[in-house]
Amino acid sequence: MAEELELTRDLLMEAGGWKEMKAAREMHRSGLVMEAGYEGGVLRGVVRIGGKPRRVRMEVLSPAHMENKCSCRAAQREGRVCAHAIAVGLEVIEPAAAASEGGGEREKEGPEDRWPRVTEEAVEGARAVRCRVMLPLRVQPSWERGQLMVGIGVSEDGEGEALLNTFGKDRVLFVGERDATLLQTLKRLFPGEAPGVMTLGRAGFLTLLEGLAGHPRVHFGKREAAVVSWRAARPALRVKGHRVTVEWPPEAIPLVDGGRAWVSAGRAFHPVAPGLPEAWRDLPGPGLTLNAAEAGGVLRALGEWFEVDEAALAGLPQPAVPRVEVRLEGSLNHLEGP
């Protein structure tokens, strides 16, 4: 029988990619994983999808070979490792609140939920709406203060725009995929009541950017269009002695907090090093200190996320290599061992 692979975040990231991992993290943090287990190389669980519990099963045969049996489209039609399977894996690695004794649902203590119901299906009573996000006009000073003001506007067909917090729990909002992801992210940040205009700290703002990637209606203030991209930026690395840091372009605004990093340049936001292993998470911030023996290998591996100059590799401190010289006196015609 093949040895069971250890289930890790890095393994799941490699299997599904950053986009699926991001969606999986949202599901896991929102408590949508109801059951999870991993035994004999088989990942099993139950995830609430579209309000209904669905079983997920995936065989982890090798780091490059996983057979996903989830019923979602990504697994059935495209054969991909989907966010549902990754979310189950995350629950195995880091269990959330314990299940209640009654029906397996998670007991959550918190404020009353006054959010409107959100659906991606045209159900009875739902109103088709579109969301728009208004970011700070000047990101850098807001980031430096740790106070970033963001507004969420909602427009219905044939009507003007209103703030999200004007929609109460009696409303049903029919939204597209990107708006659904945005609203799920906002609900995690503000579980009791939908926000209208809010002030976010640095960590909250980075969480919002993760939920905004690919969203078509993002602006600085009310007018200037902004782009929150899926495509990761690849800044260069600077090597000085044993110290390695990120060399940010002059026009870039690095947004780094708690091991997560984005960069703002012009009108666009890009993630930096998504999926970077935990051991290297300090690199976008204070940087890393490497010993001479490992520096070359680590920098070459970091080339997956950053631009690494070959000249920098050549200039690295090298571990000392002893020189051994043997001198033999006399003739070699007759040698005897001990």
> How would DSSP label each residue in 191-218?
SSS--SEEEE-HHHHHHHHHHHTT-S-E
Unique residue bearing structure tokens 């520096």 = 295
In a shared domain, residues 207 and 252? no
Give residue 333's pLDDT: 63
In a shared domain, residues 159 and 207? yes
Question: Looking at the domain assignment, is residue 163 inside a domain?
Answer: yes
Q: What is the pLDDT of residues 162-194, one digit of tens each?
A: 999 999 888 999 999 999 999 999 998 888 889
In a shared domain, residues 18 and 86? yes
pLDDT at 3 over 90: no
Instruction: Extract the runs of DSSP E, i.e. beta strands, from 11-113.
Output: 33-39, 42-49, 52-62, 65-68
Q: What is the pLDDT of residues 35-47, one digit of tens each?
A: 899 988 899 998 8
Comparing 59-68, 179-188, 263-272, which segment has the lowest mean pLDDT? 59-68
Give residue 317's pLDDT: 56
In a shared domain, residues 86 and 32? yes
**Spatial distance between the Cα atoms of 223 and 192, rounded to a whole number of angstroms:** 29
Count of domains for the chain:
3
Question: Looking at the domain assignment, is residue 105 inside a domain?
Answer: no
CB atoms within 10 A of CB 13: 18
pLDDT at 30 over 80: no
Give residue 23's pLDDT: 80
Give residue 28's pLDDT: 85
Give residue 100's pLDDT: 38
Q: Choose one of 73, 93, 113: the last residue of a domain.
A: 93
Question: Looking at the domain assignment, is residue 53 inside a domain?
Answer: yes
Provide the residue range defining the domain that includes 199: 130-228
Question: Looking at the domain assignment, is residue 323 inside a domain?
Answer: no
Question: Looking at the domain assignment, is residue 111 inside a domain?
Answer: no
3-state secondary structure of 102: coil
pLDDT at 98 over 60: no
Question: Looking at the domain assignment, is residue 200 inside a domain?
Answer: yes
The answer, as to whether pTM is greater than 0.85, is: no
In a shared domain, residues 204 and 276? no
pLDDT (average), residues 79-106: 71
pLDDT (average), residues 208-231: 94
In a shared domain, residues 246 and 203? no
